[in-house]
């Protein structure tokens, strides 16, 4: 079929949906008598707890119905379509409901930074700033708004479960999915993803947190074995999940492709049962990553509750294993009960999804505001920014398709842009052009574009302009890792030539992770815009011209080069290592190569601190168009120590400062030099001071004792430090804690 025909069909489908009778998504509409009967069932009593309601339903289920709840039924493009494929909503997959008991279908969509597969059902989705950009806001309320918008758009498009919620901390910044995650610190990442999930689920969708755990590279992700100590795992990667689950209470946890200490994550008893279900008391269900299930009996015993997207191991094989006694019925009941509980807890039973029209303009407004809080001002020599509308008469806009749009990250997170469907890993620019956004700010100035393909041409345009703004990009995607952290396609050389032609050069970076900058000393201004979303260009222009005062801080370290990373050489699979296809065919895959996390506790800024390694830009760093001063630190010991201090806006315009709190533990704790334990984002008018008080969770001051399998506070002297970044901490106080 020709592409124009597909577009017409999509539009036609949307019109039909607007006039259709609302019904539970993907299910046959029940007759009134059946509906009334279902309403009378005891588990429809909303005054009961989610656990009680799930238990009541479980007693009514047949063996086949229990099996139905613990596996998916395919997704478009994955294997041969099932006879019941028509029940799906075009998303990542679905779990059939139990219509006779009023239990709806679970319709899943990838929704990392916006709802994916919207085009499959003739819909539109807002692309928000990438998740790492969201983390740069350091703002739990912004994370909440992020999740709430996704939740609303999921429901409008007929979905009731998100597969977003990525929180793998950045051990390996070349990881192709870094843009889907929340940076390198577990407390920052866990806090923000938890608030996102909490507000997502408030819209009556099942939330998800992923990829559990230590899924920190895409190269060989189906066959890599991550070797890491339990202490390092609990204090870094798993701590982010623990915090996120505690705050967000997601209905599902997605286990990852990789193995951890010898066992694949989706059949890893230590991860799924010992930690998640026993230590953390997680009541929801564990869903496999797509094709990440490797067994029936072992996976079930380890704690995997739902196989996706098919039923290779949790269909007939699981039924036979239950009937033969290899899998106890109580184990299957637990899997099914957890799925049911999440359906009740999220509200998808009581509030059936009904397709509706997405609030496009409202989504644009939220996307723009969130991006404005995500843009990090990294350099501002001689206060070149904000640009002066009165004095700037000519601007050169150079590179990165800035005449047509802004870049997004690829893979299963890719939000469908307007227009025809895109291929897997195709580069996508959302149609919000920086050229147009900048020109709108200075209608009397000459604003011209050069693609940057010919550096000499770009330099000539820059030389004849008051200001040159180079838009640089670094694209990444699921399914691949970056070879390095350099800007691709000779962009470094382009920036060098433009800067040589015009000293008033500003670089705007669209990336999903850190980039190296050999030209950093030769240009005047740098903005890190991440993948900026549907209205990213408008947000960038607002920051460039000072309509918005930047307040974001880096959620990850920008190193000087890959040689400074804990593992300068990315460990990749040997030739012939099994990939996903082999795993799906045989179900007998074994890890074929290992990555040893011998840096242990030293992740991100903790590594650079411990190794005394200089960096390009440190964790927590970000400039403003105003300045801030700190004073009056006071630490009050107790079960949850309290940290108070004054922050003053010492500049001439209003702004928001992220005030960061770090602690150095006693030497006997054998920890990196310092760790983030709290922060507060403070809004201040010019000259205004505010007292900030932050209560510190005692776990954030503790270490994990492997022998006791518990957290403990090491007695001794703790140094509390407060300031504007991990390397700018003017306030210090030593406190003895017992």
Please state which of the ranges 111-120, 386-395, 508-517, 563-572 shows the lowest mean pLDDT: 111-120
The domain spanning residue 376 has which CATH number? 3.40.50.1700
Q: What pLDDT does residue 82 have?
A: 87
Q: What pLDDT does residue 119 have?
A: 66
Assigned token pair, 485: 């952290």
Do residues 337 and 373 both lie within one domain? no
Asked whether residue 589 is domain-assigned, the answer is: no
Pick the more confident residue, 30 or 550. Answer: 550
The domain spanning residue 41 has which CATH number? 3.20.20.300
Do residues 665 and 553 both lie within one domain? no
Residue 421, pLDDT > 90, answer no
The confidence band for 669, taking pLDDT boundaries of 50, 70 and 90, is very high
Asked whether residue 486 is domain-assigned, the answer is: yes
Please state which of the ranges 22-36, 258-272, 530-544 shows the lowest mean pLDDT: 22-36
Asked whether residue 155 is domain-assigned, the answer is: yes
pLDDT tens string 599-649: 999 999 999 999 999 999 999 999 999 999 999 999 999 989 999 999 999
When the pLDDT of each residue in the chain is averaged and rounded to a whole number, the result is 93
Euclidean distance between CA atoms 452 and 287, whole angstroms:
45
Do residues 41 and 189 both lie within one domain? yes
Residues with Cβ within 8 Å of 616's Cβ and at least 6 positions away in sequence, in order, are 514, 516, 517, 520, 558, 559, 560
Q: Which of 540, 562, 584 is the last residue of a domain?
A: 562
Pick the more confident residue, 7 or 478. Answer: 478
Q: Looking at residues 440-444, what average pLDDT do you find? A: 96
Residue 23, pLDDT > 50, answer no
Euclidean distance between CA atoms 229 and 706, whole angstroms:
9
Please state which of the ranges 128-142, 406-420, 517-531 shows the lowest mean pLDDT: 406-420
Do residues 87 and 233 both lie within one domain? yes
Element (H, E) at 232: helix 230-235
In this structure, how many other beta carbons lie within 10 angstroms of the beta carbon of residue 140? 16
Max CA separation in the chain (angstroms): 81
Domain count, the chain: 3
Residue 175's closest CA among 562, 580, 622, 602?
Answer: 562
Residue 580, pLDDT > 70, answer no
Euclidean distance between CA atoms 583 and 720, whole angstroms:
49
Q: Looking at residues 427-435, what average pLDDT do you find? A: 95
The residues that are catalytic are 289
Do residues 138 and 11 both lie within one domain? yes
Q: Which of 543, 562, 581 is the last residue of a domain?
A: 562
Helices (H), 427-516: 434-441, 455-463, 491-501
Asked whether residue 577 is domain-assigned, the answer is: no
% of the chain surpassing 70 pLDDT: 93
Q: What pLDDT does residue 575 have?
A: 79
Euclidean distance between CA atoms 397 and 439, whole angstroms:
10
Asked whether residue 293 is domain-assigned, the answer is: yes
- pTM for the model stands at 0.94
Do residues 116 and 197 both lie within one domain? yes
Q: What pLDDT does residue 419 have?
A: 77
Q: Which domain holds residue 650?
A: 626-737
Do residues 523 and 466 both lie within one domain? yes
Do residues 380 and 342 both lie within one domain? no
Q: Which of 520, 538, 562 is the last residue of a domain?
A: 562
Nearest 5°: phi and psi at 664? -100, 125
Do residues 49 and 188 both lie within one domain? yes
Asked whether residue 196 is domain-assigned, the answer is: yes
Asked whether residue 602 is domain-assigned, the answer is: no
Residue 29, pLDDT > 60, answer no
- What are the CA-CA distances from residue 139 to residues 93, 534, 646 (Å)? 32, 20, 19
Asked whether residue 98 is domain-assigned, the answer is: yes
Do residues 109 and 253 both lie within one domain? yes
Do residues 263 and 323 both lie within one domain? yes
Specify whether the CB–CB gap between 236 and 242 falls below 8 A.
Answer: no
Q: What pLDDT does residue 738 have?
A: 86
The domain spanning residue 710 has which CATH number? 2.60.40.10
Q: What pLDDT does residue 30 have?
A: 56
Tell me the CA end-to-end span of the chain in Å, nearest whole number: 71
Residue 439's closest CA among 448, 429, 450, 451?
Answer: 448
Q: Looking at residues 160-189, what average pLDDT do you find? A: 98
Q: What pLDDT does residue 300 have?
A: 98
Do residues 101 and 237 both lie within one domain? yes
pLDDT tens string 293-328: 999 999 999 999 999 999 999 999 999 999 999 999
pLDDT tens string 74-124: 998 888 888 999 999 999 999 999 999 999 999 999 999 999 986 666 678
Residues with Cβ within 8 Å of 401's Cβ and at least 6 positions away in sequence, in order, are 407, 429, 451, 471, 473
């Amino acid at each position: 079929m020709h592409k124009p025909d597909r577009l017409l069909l999509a539009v036609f489908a949307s019109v039909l949906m607007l006039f259709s009778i609302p019904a539970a998504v993907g299910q046959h509409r029940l007759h009134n008598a059946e509906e009334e009967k279902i309403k009378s069932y005891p588990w429809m009593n909303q005054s009961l707890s989610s656990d009680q309601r799930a238990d009541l339903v479980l007693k009514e289920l047949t063996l086949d119905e229990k099996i139905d709840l613990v596996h998916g039924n395919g997704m478009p493009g994955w294997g041969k379509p099932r006879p019941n494929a028509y029940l799906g909503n075009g998303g990542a997959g679905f779990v059939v409901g139990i219509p006779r008991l009023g239990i709806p279908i679970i319709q899943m969509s990838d929704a990392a930074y916006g709802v994916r597969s919207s085009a499959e059902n003739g819909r539109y989705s807002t692309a928000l700033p990438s998740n790492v950009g969201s983390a740069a806001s350091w703002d739990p309320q912004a994370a909440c708004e992020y999740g709430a918008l996704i939740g609303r758009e999921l429901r409008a498009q007929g979905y009731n479960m998100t597969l977003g919620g990525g929180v793998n901390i950045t051990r390996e910044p070349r990881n192709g999915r870094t843009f889907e995650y929340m940076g390198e610190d577990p407390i920052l990442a866990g806090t923000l993803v938890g608030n996102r999930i909490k507000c997502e689920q408030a819209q009556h969708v099942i939330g998800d947190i992923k990829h559990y755990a230590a899924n920190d590279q895409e190269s060989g992700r189906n066959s890599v074995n991550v070797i890491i100590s339990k202490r390092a795992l609990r204090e870094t990667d798993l701590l982010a999940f623990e915090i996120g689950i505690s705050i967000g209470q997601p209905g599902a946890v997605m286990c990852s492709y990789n193995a951890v200490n010898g066992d694949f994550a989706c059949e890893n008893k230590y991860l799924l049962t010992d930690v998640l279900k026993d230590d953390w008391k997680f009541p929801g269900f564990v869903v496999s990553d797509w094709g990440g299930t490797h067994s029936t009996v072992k996976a079930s015993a380890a704690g995997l509750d739902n196989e996706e997207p098919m039923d290779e191991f949790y269909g007939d094989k699981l039924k036979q294993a239950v009937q033969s006694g290899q899998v106890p019925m109580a184990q299957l009941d637990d899997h099914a009960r957890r799925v049911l509980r999440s359906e009740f807890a999220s509200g998808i039973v009581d509030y059936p999804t009904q397709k509706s029209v997405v609030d496009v303009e409202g989504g644009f407004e939220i996307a723009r505001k969130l991006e404005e809080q995500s843009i990090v001002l990294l350099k501002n020599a001689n206060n070149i920014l904000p640009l002066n509308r009165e004095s700037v008469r000519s601007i050169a806009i150079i590179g990165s398709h800035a005449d047509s749009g802004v870049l997004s990250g690829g893979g299963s997170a890719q939000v469908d842009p307007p227009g025809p469907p895109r291929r897997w890993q195709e580069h996508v620019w959302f149609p919000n052009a920086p050229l147009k956004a900048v020109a709108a700010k200075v209608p009397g100035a000459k604003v011209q574009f050069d693609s940057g393909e010919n550096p000499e041409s770009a330099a000539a345009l820059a030389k004849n302009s008051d200001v040159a703004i180079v838009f640089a990009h670094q694209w990444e995607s699921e399914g691949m890792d970056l070879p390095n952290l350099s800007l691709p396609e000779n962009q470094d050389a382009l920036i060098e030539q433009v800067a040589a032609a015009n000293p008033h050069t500003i670089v705007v970076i669209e990336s999903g992770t850190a980039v190296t900058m050999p030209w950093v000393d030769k240009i005047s201004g740098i903005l890190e815009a991440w993948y900026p979303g549907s209205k990213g260009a408008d947000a960038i222009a607002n920051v460039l011209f000072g309509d918005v005062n930047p307040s974001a801080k880096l959620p990850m370290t920008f190193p000087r080069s890959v040689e400074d990373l804990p593992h300068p050489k990315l460990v990749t699979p040997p030739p012939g290592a099994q990939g996903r296809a082999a795993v799906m065919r045989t179900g007998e895959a074994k890890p074929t190569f290992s990555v040893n996390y011998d840096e242990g506790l030293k992740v991100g800024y903790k590594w650079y601190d411990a190794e005394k390694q200089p960096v390009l830009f440190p964790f927590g760093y970000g400039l403003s168009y105003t300045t801030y001063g700190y004073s009056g630190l006071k630490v009050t010991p107790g079960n949850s120590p309290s940290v108070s201090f004054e922050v003053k806006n010492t500049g001439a315009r209003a702004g928001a400062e992220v005030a960061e709190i770090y602690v150095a533990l006693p030497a006997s704790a054998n920890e990196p030099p310092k760790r983030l334990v709290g922060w507060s984002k403070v809004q201040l008018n010019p000259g205004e001071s505010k007292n900030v008080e932050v209560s510190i969770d005692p776990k954030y001051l503790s270490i994990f004792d492997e022998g006791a399998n518990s957290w403990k506070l090491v007695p001794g002297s703790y140094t509390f430090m407060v300031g504007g970044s991990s390397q700018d901490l003017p306030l210090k106080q030593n406190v003895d804690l017992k």
